[in-house]
Amino acid sequence: MDLHSNVPIHVMPTDKFKTTTIAFKFMAPLDIETMTARSLLSKMLVRVTEKYPTDKAFNQHLSYLYGAYLNSNVSKFKDCHVITISLEIVNERYLPDELSLVDEGIQLLKEVILNPLVQNQQFDETFLEQEKRLLQNKLIAIEDNKTQLSYLQLLKYMFGDQPYRYPAVGQLEQLEHITAQSLYHTYQNMLSHDNCSIYVVGNVDKDYISAKLADTFNVQSFTYRPSQDNYPINPQQAVNEVVETADVDQTKLNMGFRFPTQYGATDYPALIVFNMMFGADPSSVLFSEVREKQSLAYSIHSQIDGKNGYLFVLSGVSSDAYEAAKNTIIAAFEQFKIGNFTDEKMALAKKIILSHRKELKDRPKQMIELMHNQILIEDPQSEADFIAGIEAVTKADIQALCQHAQLDTIYIMTKAVNEDA
């Protein structure tokens, strides 16, 4: 069995690390009908294999490979659901013996991806039940965590029936329908239809490891074309405000914005700089105004999904002050629309962004994410291009971007008023 052809291999040779990281990313369309099964599959693949059919056998082999670390996770990427399987292994240059760890690591990944523990076209029932229980506990914990739940509720009201509203790990109600046999079909579907790309970061010979991976997995290049989000942005549209009650100590006040830009667009750097000034850092306006000056929030920050042009403000505020906090956040955003912010604040934001970017270069997995983002654009962006893009952002750029942005949804989770009091 071969992987679906059309798989690009990206290698970043560096002597910064004493480990080599190899990551496979399998991308399928975001679909609520498949997300939960794919989430389970990601865990089953790194649990046991045909050659290592027990936890003990698998762990012994990882120990033999000098404590190699194998991991899997799922995530949302633009319009895709992504299964990431990554292996972190000690670089053989630092070992006293002749063991070719890179080759051994590639063979292990081949075993994990192409030879899972399958009999009669179904996964092992016992391991599947264990992984289903673990995922069930994870999904219940998300529902019990009011901060996470309130964020999911914001997505629910902002995106309606779109699959983006669901967490990548899946849904509780989908779990019971997944069987050992249906999961095998999910696996076959992944191998046959997913877009896949491979990333390597470490002190390696680029040509050698590329050829080795291509030979082991029969890979060729593919062209990924993300679907375009046709959601019309209308800054004048009425905001969808939802208030729900729950047993919470503090009110969760969340907001969702849509911006007319996305990763790769010429005005995308303006969104990064704006987000840093608005709420992504303790130096930001939301932190200083809402939390420090007015003491309205216990916690507040903004974050972006730059691949789609979304910005979310997430906060925990005093139950008797959520109206004041909401108005303060909106007022702060209005100030950016009229360009009421200083050049000093903008310079500081740029400095923080470039410092964070530099830190990413110290983490192999973050470097892989940066490489993976490049598939969204036709011409790869160099580090120099990124820095130049951030430094070139002007006050007018941020002002124009905010003027064309839409505050889409406000979601408030607060405690019920005691009518007997």
For residue range 131-165, list pLDDT tens digits in order: 999 999 999 999 999 999 999 999 999 999 999 99
Query: Could you tell me which of 63, 40, 14, 126 has the C-alpha nearest to residue 370?
Result: 14
Cβ contact 41:190 at 8 Å: yes
Q: Are residues 190 and 304 in the same domain?
A: no
Decide if pLDDT at 108 tops 90: yes
> In this structure, is residue 289 part of a structural domain?
yes
User: Given 184, 217, 250, which residue is the final one in a domain?
Assistant: 217
Read off the tokens for 165: 């509203």
Q: Are residues 327 and 207 in the same domain?
A: no
Decide if pLDDT at 72 tops 60: yes
Q: How distant, in Å, are the alpha carbons of 29, 56, 184, 282, 312 from that of 352? A: 34, 45, 46, 11, 20
Domain that holds residue 350: 240-414
For residue range 202-229, list pLDDT tens digits in order: 999 999 999 999 999 977 677 778 776 6
For residue range 262-311, list pLDDT tens digits in order: 999 999 999 999 999 999 999 999 999 988 888 888 999 999 999 999 99
227 or 40, which is more confident: 40
Give every strand in the sheet of 9-13, ordered side by side.
9-13, 195-202, 19-29, 80-90, 69-77
Decide if pLDDT at 6 tops 70: no
Q: Are residues 134 and 65 in the same domain?
A: yes
For residue range 353-386, list pLDDT tens digits in order: 999 999 998 999 999 999 999 999 888 899 999 9
Q: Are residues 212 and 254 in the same domain?
A: no
Residue with tokens 């936890």: 55
**What value does the mean pLDDT take over residues 223-252?**
87
Q: How distant, in Å, are the alpha carbons of 107, 152, 153, 178 from that of 165? A: 37, 7, 8, 21
Mean pLDDT, rounded, of the chain: 93
User: Given 217, 248, 282, which residue is the final one in a domain?
Assistant: 217
Decide if pLDDT at 395 tops 80: yes
Cβ contact 72:84 at 8 Å: yes
Read off the tokens for 374: 């490049």
**Cα–chain-centroid distance for residue 43?**
17
Query: Could you tell me which of 356, 19, 360 has the C-alpha nearest to residue 201?
Result: 19
Q: Are residues 282 and 330 in the same domain?
A: yes
